[in-house]
Amino acid sequence: MSAAIATTLVLGVPTAGYATEGSDPSPSPSPTGYTPTQLSNPTLAGSTAVGECNGDVPWISFTVTLVDPDNQSTSHTAHLVLTNGTETADIPLGELVDNHLSGRVLWPGASVDAAGNPTGWPGWAFENGKWVETDGNFRWTRGAITATLEVNPSLVVPLSYPPSTPNCATNPPVTPVGSTTSSTVLPVTGLGVAVLPISIAGALLAVAGIVLLLLRRRRRTHS
């Protein structure tokens, strides 16, 4: 009887757990295995803004592409912000459609009429019947500027005022001092070059004809 009681007591005593050599005491991983999702930040990579001259008018041509695979952007309205560190110009570009927008806008200070002909240029004013340079009318945009495309996110892009070329002027026609004609010279065409020698030859022929006519009259008078 005593032996049976002793056996029962031994079996009833809880045994302490001991880690054997080489065993891993760390708890087992969570059965769910959850890992937080990493969202991709939106960018405007590949977007551009370029100064161009077309028909003697300075323009800014732009392409805006929003890369936003996880729909993180909170805006789809594009702006172009120009600054020289002191002054700022905010140019609305429009609404992105399917995360894309392209087109062109007038350079700040430039203007055109209903037919698209130039009527104004940055840094110039029409006063007393002639064009004069001025510190106003966005003249500062012709110098060193920083240009930023903004949608949310934003992107700094290289941009500068387009220079004049023989085929496109980004300044108004200016009348030189002491002259009554504009300094803007129309391009010489092949027709103009050909007309000049023809005109000279025609004049010489006309003079020769007059001389011959006078000689004939003189001969008739003496005969």
Sequence spans of domains, the chain? 48-157
Give pLDDT, residue 174.
75
The residue that leads in pLDDT, 105 or 205, is: 105
Give pLDDT, residue 48.
98
Give pLDDT, residue 63.
98
Tens of pLDDT, residues 75-88: 999 999 999 999 99
Predicted confidence band of residue 130 (pLDDT cuts 50, 70, 90):
very high
Predicted confidence band of residue 38 (pLDDT cuts 50, 70, 90):
confident
**pLDDT at residue 107 tops 90:** yes
Give pLDDT, residue 193.
37
Tens of pLDDT, residues 184-205: 433 333 333 343 444 555 556 6
Q: What's the whole-number mean pLDDT along residues 17-30?
A: 48
Residue with tokens 């698209």: 116
**pTM, rounded to two decimals:** 0.64
Give pLDDT, residue 37.
72
Give pLDDT, residue 39.
86
Q: What's the whole-number mean pLDDT along residues 121-150?
A: 97
